[in-house]
Structure 1
Amino acid sequence: MYDWLFRRVLSRMDPEKAHHLAFMVIRALGLPVIDSITARIVGTAETHPVDTLGLRFPTPFGVAAGFDKNAQAVIGLGRLGFGHVEVGTITAQAQPGNPKPRLFRLIPDRAVINRMGFNNEGADAARLQLLRLHRRRDRPIIGVNIGKSRVTPVEDATRDYRASTRLLAPFADYLVVNVSSPNTPGLRGLQELDLLAPLLTEVKASAGSTPLLVKIAPDLDDEQVDRIAALVVDLGLDGIIATNTTIEREGLRTDRSVVDAAGAGGLSGAPLASRSLEVLRRIRAVVPPGLCVISVGGVETAEDVSERLAAGATLVQGYTGFLYRGPFWARQINRGLAATT
């Protein structure tokens, strides 16, 4: 049914408009009357529970940052079967993001190019949303992904991240420093160790007892991955998320003219799977067994999730697969995982 809907209707809509339509429906799933119906359809039983970050995740599969930028659909996403929801990316200051169009489908590749540019309502607004969610016992685990405000110079990035941390860390189950999106000028440069070390040190001090992770790009070379992994261990961070979107465009099936017309931005979806898995294995080989490593990039099926877990992932996230698999995607993965145990 969803395949037909996607081919005949959703694929013909502007991608960002289609996302907003789906988002509003999922947000409505958290409303009291609809909530109970959704819970009966999807089920709430634990599937492959994972204990990490001082928390118990009912399933290793969660939704990556980018889908719910302002923490407005967390309950609905939880009802669809995601064990955790990473909201954001949230910036200290509200910002509209990059000019439209900024979201493009590459259907032959089951991929997406985005240059959204951290469009969000800002840390103050997110804090109010998170405060309300924090009081609910029926919510999924909530990660909060923070990034640099576009108007903030790179040299002032630490101050910017620290401001978001102080507002949001008290209401986050875990916090993520995003220094790897390709859509904010200068952001990826913060992955250089001489900039990253003091940034993470300051954010860790501001985060208090909230577990802290850093999200890295797939476009780092292997030596850079190793150095960041070592830094995370040295600083006593709680984990790494690998990986963000890629700026690479090699090996795509989509016609080159379509790819070129989409322009700059981060590529996500199936083409990212191989590199994301490589980075996961490299990180797991050099960090302690107890360090939380969240794998994201190119995950679509329960078999994909199982492969990441077998390769050393503590948890697994997805986002682009939601577009191609439909609303019961997380349920399908959870049932697939249950069938293998």
Structure 2
Amino acid sequence: MFSPFLRPRRLRASAGIRALVRETELNAADFIYPIFVVPGTNIKKEIPSMPGIYHLSADMALEESREAYDLGIPAILVFGLPEYKDADGSSAWDDSSPVQRAIRLIKEALPELVVVSDVCMCEYTSHGHCGHVENGKVDNDATLDLLRKVALSHAKAGADIVAPSDMMDGRVQVIRQMLDSVGFIDVGIMAYSAKYASAYYGPFREAADSAPQFGDRRTYQMDAANAREALREVELDIAEGADIVMVKPALAYLDILRQVRDRVTLPVAAYNVSGEYAMVKAAAANGWVEERQIVLETLLSMKRAGADMIITYHALEASRWLQR
């Protein structure tokens, strides 16, 4: 009988040994928890396609944020549904809109919790696209003026980091220049640098009421077939002043995440998006997968691929599981 001299299994022989040689650790401090704020008070309404995720009024968003903070999650990402929509999404920079109200309330009560605000137009425009539309097309440069207004309103409300997710060319530069010019030099920018046009966003569009009313977003979000283009987008955002770069979605783009991590020295975020979340929830509800194990394995894969931080709807439950 052959007896091997080299035995990698020696380092898997017990839980203690496996812990000693474990290469990647996952913990609550890796997570950013996304929340959806809506007009009104005392509202907590579950989103059908995202079990366990809710539409929250600003007061309830504070309670959800407090729960995240108490679990050791260092940051939240705030999305909002407005009271009104128009062609240019003017409610996005209205200081009385739900996002701005929630940011003020959360930062006052939980000053140590990092508040990241999504800067985009799709939730706020009547047509559902991420910017100003002219002759049936999204006008890149006209949209930059809108994004500056949104980012400034979020910074004034108290956001620590603004996160432009629109994929317009030059948006990081104009936002950085604007923030610096009015004294918000310490407000960071988390750029959705490699954001792909993806079918994995379906549940989010229900959650944010942001489906486009015509066409699609392929003229500004990236083609799923392209990897080198993602690296170029990342490099451009860094040159324009981004503090953190992001790959979105995460699970089907782990190769992109790895390439970005190997290429840059800035922190890298991965977005574990709504479709990824919903598929796990649906499979678990049917008894087809063991939810705890598959969630933690999925999140670990993102960190192993190079993510310094993971935006995930699983953040609350994953943090509880990791404490056990």
TM-score bracket relative to the smaller structure: 0.5 to 0.7
Aligned to 2:300: 331
* Separation of aligned partners in 2, 1:45 and 1:185: 53
* Separation of aligned partners in 2, 1:152 and 1:214: 21
Q: Does the 8 A contact of 1:142 with 1:174 survive in 2?
A: yes
Q: How does the TM-score come out when normalised to structure 1?
A: 0.51
* Separation of aligned partners in 2, 1:243 and 1:96: 31
Shift of 1:248: 8.4
* Separation of aligned partners in 1, 2:20 and 2:101: 36
Aligned to 2:267: 314
1:46 to 1:310, Cα distance in 2 relative to 1, 3 A: same
* Separation of aligned partners in 1, 2:19 and 2:174: 40
Q: Does the 8 A contact of 1:229 with 1:286 survive in 2?
A: yes
Percent identical pairs in the alignment equals 9
Q: Does the 8 A contact of 1:302 with 1:336 survive in 2?
A: yes
Aligned to 2:155: 204
Q: Does the 8 A contact of 1:95 with 1:149 survive in 2?
A: no
* Separation of aligned partners in 1, 2:197 and 2:253: 21
User: 3-state DSSP class of the match of 2:163?
Assistant: strand
- Pick one of 32, 38, 42 that aligns with 1:91: 38
Shift of 1:156: 3.1
1:14-93 → structure 2 map (5 Å cutoff)? 83-93=30-40
- Pick one of 237, 240, 249 that aligns with 1:297: 249
Pair 1:238-2:185 in alignment: no
1:124 partner letter:
D
1:159-308 → structure 2 map (5 Å cutoff)? 159=94, 160=97, 161-170=99-108, 171=110, 172-179=113-120, 181=122, 185-186=126-127, 188-190=129-131, 192-207=143-158, 210-217=159-166, 220=167, 224-225=168-169, 227-236=170-179, 237-239=187-189, 240-242=191-193, 246=197, 273-274=224-225, 278-279=229-230, 281-288=232-239, 291-300=243-252, 303-308=255-260
User: 3-state DSSP class of the match of 2:56?
Assistant: coil
User: 3-state DSSP class of the match of 2:35?
Assistant: strand
Pair 1:142-2:92 in alignment: no
1:43 to 1:231, Cα distance in 2 relative to 1, 3 A: farther
Shift of 1:329: 0.9
Shift of 1:141: 2.5
Shift of 1:127: 0.4
* Separation of aligned partners in 1, 2:256 and 2:64: 32
Root-mean-square deviation (CA, aligned residues, Å) is 4.6
* Separation of aligned partners in 2, 1:96 and 1:184: 23
* Separation of aligned partners in 1, 2:22 and 2:103: 31
Shift of 1:150: 5.0
Q: Which has the larger radius of gyration?
A: 2
Can you give the 5+ residue segments of structure 1 that lack an aligned partner in the other structure?
1-39, 49-57, 60-77, 104-115, 250-263
The C-alpha deviation readout for 1:281-316, integer Å capped at 9, x for no partner, is 324335347621222225347544312323446223
1:148 to 1:247, Cα distance in 2 relative to 1, 3 A: same
* Separation of aligned partners in 2, 1:290 and 1:200: 14
1:299 partner letter:
L
* Separation of aligned partners in 1, 2:303 and 2:73: 15
1:87-166 → structure 2 map (5 Å cutoff)? 87-93=34-40, 94=43, 120-134=55-69, 136=70, 138-151=71-84, 154-159=89-94, 160=97, 161-166=99-104
Shift of 1:277: 6.8
* Separation of aligned partners in 1, 2:130 and 2:81: 12
Shift of 1:97: 9.2
User: 3-state DSSP class of the match of 1:305?
Assistant: helix
Shift of 1:120: 0.6
1:291 to 1:234, Cα distance in 2 relative to 1, 3 A: same
